[in-house]
Structure 1
Amino acid sequence: MLWNIDRTLVDVERVARAAYAEAFEKVTGHPLVYLAPTAGATDSELFFAFLARNNVPSDDETLLPLYLDALEQAFAARRREVGTKGRLLPGATDALRAVAALPDTVQTVVTGGIKPNAVAKLAAFGLDSLLNLEVGGFGSQNYLKASLIQFTRMRAEQSRGTSFPDASTVYVSHSVRDVEAALIGRVTPIGVVSGLDTAAQLRKAGAEIVLDDLEDTVAVVTAIQRATE
């Protein structure tokens, strides 16, 4: 069971944007004036999108690791703000608890955020203890979401010593790009209308199951069972 974090379980966009801006200017010497769409993107992808949108030369290969280090530091400096300026999305805690209680299930995340920042977001709202973050997929790895999904499934198999076929793996997210990544990664997407993409857009992208939100725990569990039948 794979969950996206941002805009699916929590919304800490205000804090994340401030951290992006600080890290970008620290590493490049240029202010981050123009942002890029974050949904479905990893932090590595976003850095190059920021470079392009702000007309900053991108031929220096040392910039990315420096930026990711700076991003971790910038977010850590704002950790206290996560709980005050961010919010837990309705139903997220109960949904994770319900899935954690399902038999023969490994529950983790696949997110575009680097691991330290992703863990901080979850911990701020008490969600980290409900997930196996050791096998999760994070933007700390320079891979697209589809690859992160497959690597995460394989790590879960190694951790449990059992097989998790593609057809029994589910990825829950609010974005069209993540639905597409799930299909490329050969797992079943479940859409949640908690971001900017509509139910129709999520379905058009390939999500046969779309939830309005996570508040109806029975509906969440039923959707997961239907997706893995």
Structure 2
Amino acid sequence: MALFVLWDIDHTLIENAGVSKEIYAAAFTALSGREPTEPARTEGRTDRLIMGDMFARDGLPVPDWRSIEAALAEAGEARLDQLRRRGAALSGAHEALKAASARSGWVSSVLTGNIAANARVKLAAFGLDSLLDLPVGAYGADAELRPELVSVARARVQRLRGVPADVPTVLVGDTPRDVEAALTTGSGIVAVASGIHSPEELAAAGASEVLPGLSDTKRVLDVLESFAGR
């Protein structure tokens, strides 16, 4: 049966080893001329919110979005080699994506707070980009709040791939914000405790399916398949 699967990136598919926060800090410095007083607060937030919050906490006006996005993209591209050296694809990520991409009728993409350019950098660093239909995903430039990204991705997959509107959508992510985005948009959610949030926290947020990670490919695919029949 048909299914639209949207994967989070950081701490779901990859470990960025602190490179993400370095990207935000570098973009902030490029735009403000000084280092931020505190590191970026991420945990499932979009780049629009993350960068706006950094400027607000430092008492600075928020630059226009086009300038922010350009600074983020430049900082991300400059740290590709660092990401490859220090980061890693999480256990089972490649296998899970490959298996999902091979399922007839499934479209597999991303729903991430990262801007599209940096999402591609992070995925390409570990050879995951070719296993996802990136043009139909939703990214941190598309909206401020994560639930709003779901409708963006649904509109894209319907327009670009002809997927009917009634095809189930399921999110895979590691934070309560991923769970919230799924529950408030009528999507399925597979929560993975591969980030900083425990299985108990993810279940308390409302996730009915919580996995320790993606290492058990069969289990991941079986859970995703269960949403296709709903």
What TM-score comes out, normalization by structure 2 length? 0.92
SS at match of 1:90: coil
CA contact (8 A) 2:191 2:207 kept: yes
The amino acid across from 1:69 in the alignment is A
Structure 2 CA distance for partners of 1:99 and 1:164, relative to 1, 3 Å: farther
Q: Which residue number corresponds to residue 221 of structure 1?
A: 221
Q: Which residue number corresponds to residue 49 of structure 2?
A: 45
Distance 2:101 2:31 in 1: 40
Q: Which has the higher contact order (CA 8 A, sep 6+)?
A: 2
Match of 2:59 among 52, 56, 60: 56
Q: Which residue number corresponds to residue 154 of structure 2?
A: 153
Give the C-alpha shift of residue 202 in structure 1. Answer: 0.8
CA contact (8 A) 1:202 1:210 kept: yes
The amino acid across from 2:174 in the alignment is H
SS at match of 1:80: helix
Distance 2:142 2:161 in 1: 22
Consecutive unaligned residues in structure 1, runs of 5 or more: none
What TM-score comes out, normalization by structure 1 length? 0.93
Q: Which residue number corresponds to residue 111 of structure 1?
A: 112
Distance 1:97 1:194 in 2: 19
Give the C-alpha shift of residue 114 in structure 1. Answer: 0.6
Give the C-alpha shift of residue 200 in structure 1. Answer: 1.1
Q: Which residue number corresponds to residue 206 of structure 1?
A: 206
Structure 2 CA distance for partners of 1:56 and 1:64, relative to 1, 3 Å: farther
Q: Which residue number corresponds to residue 12 of structure 2?
A: 8
Give the C-alpha shift of residue 35 in structure 1. Answer: 2.2
Give the C-alpha shift of residue 65 in structure 1. Answer: 2.5
Q: Percent identity?
A: 37
CA contact (8 A) 1:27 1:63 kept: no
Give the C-alpha shift of residue 13 in structure 1. Answer: 4.1
Give the C-alpha shift of residue 22 in structure 1. Answer: 1.3
Number of residues paired by the alignment? Answer: 225
Q: Which residue number corresponds to residue 195 of structure 2?
A: 195
Distance 1:184 1:28 in 2: 36
Distance 1:188 1:164 in 2: 15
Greater Cα shift, 122-131 or 36-45 = 36-45
Residue-by-residue CA offset, 1:180-212 (whole Å, 9 max, x unaligned): 011112211110000111111111111100111
Consecutive unaligned residues in structure 2, runs of 5 or more: none
Structure 2 CA distance for partners of 1:36 and 1:20, relative to 1, 3 Å: closer
CA contact (8 A) 1:30 1:56 kept: no
CA contact (8 A) 2:99 2:221 kept: yes
Distance 2:117 2:41 in 1: 21
What pairs up with 1:125-144 in 2 under 5 angstroms? 125-144=126-145
Give the C-alpha shift of residue 219 in structure 1. Answer: 0.3
CA contact (8 A) 1:199 1:210 kept: yes
SS at match of 1:93: helix
Distance 2:227 2:208 in 1: 9
Give the C-alpha shift of residue 64 in structure 1. Answer: 3.2
Distance 1:93 1:44 in 2: 28
Q: Which residue number corresponds to residue 29 of structure 1?
A: 33
CA contact (8 A) 1:110 1:136 kept: yes
Distance 1:68 1:15 in 2: 17
